[in-house]
Structures are given as structure tokens and as C-alpha cells.
């Protein structure tokens, strides 16, 4: 008998049964959905974030980063003090955030898929899943383009921005991070 999560439909496990055939289905709650359910009962935000198995940051209604999970801090290579309260472009090292106008104020910002997706979720409450996005990032060894698949979800007035996947550019695959 198969056990399927009643919330998301994910296969949880198989249970041998002499009464029911192997095509029979029972329902349970997978670990991820159970975690989300527990969060609705008053789990602290930091504990909830740590239960998410990918980098995630929260974005406040003002457009700044609220907090993040350990996977996000490791992914960003930054400490909580460097992330919390900062603008997204500063945290993700967008090269346009370094311009005098700053993050969210340059002509480039209106075309930023990350910014547009987060702000749409903030304004409409609509969840976005696996949106292709990229950043032109500036670092000590030059600029590089980093590609992401991001997801956003609004809960309780804040947006959860999940970085689902990064894709290295052709230059990074070759080991040359100085070319864009």
C-alpha cells in the first residue's frame, strides 16, 4: 500500500499489507507539510526557516531583508548582521546596487526579475514558482552573471524568497570568473 501526503500529493512510503493490494493508497502528512502545519500553530520564524531545505530570505514590506536561514547565509557568504535590514541588491551583490542611486532606484531595477517577482508577491499575494532570474554581480575578481530559479510566497505580511537553483555561467564553468 502506498502512503501519499494528503496536502501535497508526495509519495511518503510503501507499507506491506496482506489486506490491501500494492495499488491501494492511504494518506499521511509528509515532513515538509508537517513542518508548514506546525509553523501555523506558532512555531518561531527562525525555527520555521531552518526547516526549509533550500536558501530562503524574508523580505519586509519596505523591501529590505528581514532574516534568513543558515543555508541562505552560507549561500550568500554573509553573517546575519550583514543581511538583516539590508536591501536585496546589496545582499546579493548586484552590480547596479553599487551605483549612486542604490538598490531599487536605478534604471536597471525595473527590469530585475527578482525585484519584480518579490514586489508582485508583496502587492498581490500571488505565489511564484521557479521563476528564471539573474544578477550581474560585482566581486573583487570582477563581474559575473549568476542565474537563479526563485520562488516567492507571502505569509503574514512578509515575502519568503527561496533560491531554488543556481546555474553557473559558461565563464564560471570554465573557471574564469572575470568575464561577463
pLDDT digits 0-9 by tens, 1-50: 787 876 778 888 887 777 777 778 777 667 776 666 666 667 788 888 89
Q: How far apart are the first and last CA of the chain?
A: 53
Same domain, 28 and 84: no
Same domain, 108 and 20: no
Tally of residues, the chain: 180
pLDDT tens digits for range 85-114? 889 998 988 888 888 998 888 888 888 999
Whether 178 is in a domain gets the answer no
Cell for 101?
Answer: 542611486
Same domain, 138 and 74: yes
Range of the domain at 19: 1-43
Predicted model pTM:
0.70
Same domain, 4 and 60: no
Amino acid at each position: 500500500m502506498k502512503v501519499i501526503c494528503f496536502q501535497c500529493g508526495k509519495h511518503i512510503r510503501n507499507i506491506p499489507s496482506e489486506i490491501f493490494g500494492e495499488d491501494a493508497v492511504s494518506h499521511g502528512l509528509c515532513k515538509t507539510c508537517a513542518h508548514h502545519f506546525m509553523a501555523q500553530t506558532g512555531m518561531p520564524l527562525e525555527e520555521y526557516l531552518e526547516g526549509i531545505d533550500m536558501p530562503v530570505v524574508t523580505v519586509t514590506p519596505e523591501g529590505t531583508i528581514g532574516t534568513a536561514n543558515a543555508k541562505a547565509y552560507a549561500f550568500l557568504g554573509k553573517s546575519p548582521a550583514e543581511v538583516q535590514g539590508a536591501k536585496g541588491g546589496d545582499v546579493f551583490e548586484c552590480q547596479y546596487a553599487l551605483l549612486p542611486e542604490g538598490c531599487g532606484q536605478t534604471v536597471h531595477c525595473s527590469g530585475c526579475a527578482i525585484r519584480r517577482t518579490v514586489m508582485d508577491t508583496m502587492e498581490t499575494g500571488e505565489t511564484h514558482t521557479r521563476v528564471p532570474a539573474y544578477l550581474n554581480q560585482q566581486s573583487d575578481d570582477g563581474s559575473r552573471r549568476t542565474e537563479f530559479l526563485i520562488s516567492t510566497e507571502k505569509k503574514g505580511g512578509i515575502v519568503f524568497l527561496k533560491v531554488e537553483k543556481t546555474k553557473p555561467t559558461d565563464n564560471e564553468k570554465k573557471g574564469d570568473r572575470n568575464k561577463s
